[in-house]
């Protein structure tokens, strides 16, 4: 019996193991959905601990699958757990967990990319942006195929303070391929520094918590997996609209092996390109011979602030597309004076 005045800790009743659930419902990971199951509950407990204290918290788990992380979240003593699962095959096993934790679990069959998470939690949980984060957490072992577009979507939500961030600075604990996690947390000068590094770090404190070896998953992926924790910043490091920052950052990293001058050129139409590029780099005080991965956050901020002023003076600049200009030239069989942008793995995923 719990001591007087204390609430008894929540414990799940005896349940089939995750392996037994997989056999019972004949579940197989689908390669086209890049599904990988994590069966070791010690590892799922470790993932959930990175989210912090979940006692009486409200949690949304993305893609719970057979329910390994789900069990660890429930064992952490949450008040409410929302499960968003796209694959109908996992619903019966999740319903078994729901019945083992009466009143705590709500299951939604749907795609997290389109699910209206801003309506998922009680309004009284909302906090002002400058306050401590709300008692709301997003946790998920993300399929590799959706991890990059999903974090970009949520980062845009952070910028606009909508979606799951309508409640305040909602924290996220998510898994990524180890290489993607290294990009998310890479510092200036690191060869892994990329568009993802800037887009995530200018909006959030991003922590690469630990690495899970590929052999811990079933089936074993060809890469290791890392757990990353995100806490939105009170004040973004670049205070410009998300789409503008994304356009500048994406342009800089289009030619990541060349001088940053080369990528910044692609922000401007061919007519007047050189003059405007020089104007932008001089005003932003950025050395044109630096490589993209060498640029600091303050240099990206200066580039975005200066580009915003140039767009205010000439609104047609923001809608200009370098790729579209190349496409039009090809259609007209005109000579193309510059090389094609390098296609990054991030862009391929998107």
Residue 348's CB: how many other CB atoms inside 10 A?
8
- Report the alpha-carbon distance of residue 325 to residue 5 in Å, rounded: 70
Calculate ∠ Cα 195-136-42, nearest 5°: 80
- Residue 189: pLDDT over 90: yes
pLDDT surpassing 80 at residue 204? yes
| pLDDT classification of 220: cutoffs 50, 70, 90 | confident
Lowest mean pLDDT among 196-210, 212-226, 264-278, 333-347: 333-347
pLDDT score, position 330: 85
User: Domain residues of the chain, as ranges?
Assistant: 25-232, 242-332
H-state helical runs in 25-101: 41-49, 68-75, 91-100
Encoded tokens for 81: 């757990």
Tokens found for residue 14? 């005896």
> What's the angle, vertex CA 200, arms to CA 122 and CA 260, rounded to 5?
155
Which residues contribute to the annotated binding site?
36, 38, 63, 85, 111, 141
- For the residues 324-335, what does the mean pLDDT come to? 81
Packing angle of the helix pair 144-160, 178-185 (nearest 10 deg): 20
pLDDT bucket at 47, cuts 50 / 70 / 90: very high
What letters, b where the CB count within 10 A reaches 16 and e where it falls short, cover 278-308?
eebbeebebeeebbbbebeeebbbbbbbbbb
Average pLDDT over residues 41-47: 96
Band (pLDDT 50/70/90 cuts) for residue 10 is confident
Average pLDDT over every residue of 136-152: 94
Q: How confident is the model at residue 2 (pLDDT cuts 50, 70, 90)?
A: very low
Domain 25-232 and domain 242-332 have a common topology: no
In this prediction, residues 248-261 reach a mean pLDDT of 95
In eight-state DSSP terms, residue 189 is T
Question: What pLDDT, in 10s, does the model give residues 11-43?
Answer: 777 777 777 777 766 777 666 556 788 989 999
Residue stretches of the annotated binding site for S-adenosyl-L-methionine: 36, 38, 63, 85, 111, 141
Distance CA 163, CA 101 (A): 27
Q: Kindly report the length of the chain.
A: 350
Architecture label for domain 242-332: Orthogonal Bundle (1.10)
Which residue spans within 251-349 are E strands per DSSP? Answer: none
- Is the confidence at residue 350, as pLDDT, over 50? no
How confident is the model at residue 126, as a pLDDT? 97
Average pLDDT for the chain:
90
CATH superfamily to which 25-232 belongs: Vaccinia Virus protein VP39 (3.40.50.150)
Does residue 236 register a pLDDT over 80? Answer: yes
pLDDT of residue 221: 87
Is residue 66 a contact partner of residue 129, using CB atoms and an 8 Å limit? no
- pLDDT value at residue 16: 75
């Amino acid at each position: 019996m719990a001591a007087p005045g204390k609430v008894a800790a929540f414990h799940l009743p005896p349940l089939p193991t995750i392996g037994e659930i997989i056999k019972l419902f004949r579940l197989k990971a689908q390669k086209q959905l890049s599904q990988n199951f994590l069966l070791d509950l010690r590892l799922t407990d470790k993932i959930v601990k990175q989210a912090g204290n979940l006692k009486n918290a409200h949690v949304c788990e993305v893609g719970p699958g057979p329910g390994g992380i789900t069990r660890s979240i429930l064992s952490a003593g949450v008040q409410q757990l929302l499960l968003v699962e796209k694959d109908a095959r996992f619903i019966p096993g999740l319903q078994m967990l729901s019945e083992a934790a009466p009143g705590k679990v709500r299951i939604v069959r749907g795609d997290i990319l389109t699910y209206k998470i801003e309506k998922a939690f009680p309004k009284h949980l909302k906090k002002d942006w400058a306050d401590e984060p709300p008692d709301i957490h997003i946790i998920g072992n993300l399929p590799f195929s959706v991890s990059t577009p999903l974090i970009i979507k949520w980062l845009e939500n952070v910028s606009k303070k909508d979606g799951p961030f309508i409640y305040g600075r909602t924290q996220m604990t998510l898994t990524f391929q180890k290489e993607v996690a290294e990009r998310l947390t890479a510092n200036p000068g690191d060869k892994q520094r990329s568009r993802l590094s800037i887009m995530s770090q200018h909006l959030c404190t991003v922590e690469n918590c630990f690495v899970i070896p590929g052999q811990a998953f079933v089936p074993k992926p060809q890469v290791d997996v890392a757990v990353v924790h995100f806490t939105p910043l009170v004040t973004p490091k670049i205070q410009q609209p998300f789409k503008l920052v994304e356009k500048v950052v994406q342009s800089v990293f289009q030619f990541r092996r060349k001088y940053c001058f080369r990528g910044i050129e692609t922000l401007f139409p061919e007519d007047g390109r050189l003059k405007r590029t020089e104007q932008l780099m001089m005003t932003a005080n950025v050395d044109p011979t630096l490589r993209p991965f060498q640029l600091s956050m303050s240099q990206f901020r200066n580039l975005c602030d200066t580009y915003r002023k140039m767009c205010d003076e000439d609104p047609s600049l923001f809608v200009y597309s370098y790729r579209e200009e190349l496409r039009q030239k090809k259609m007209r069989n005109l000579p193309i004076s510059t090389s094609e942008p390098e296609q990054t793995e991030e862009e391929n995923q998107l």
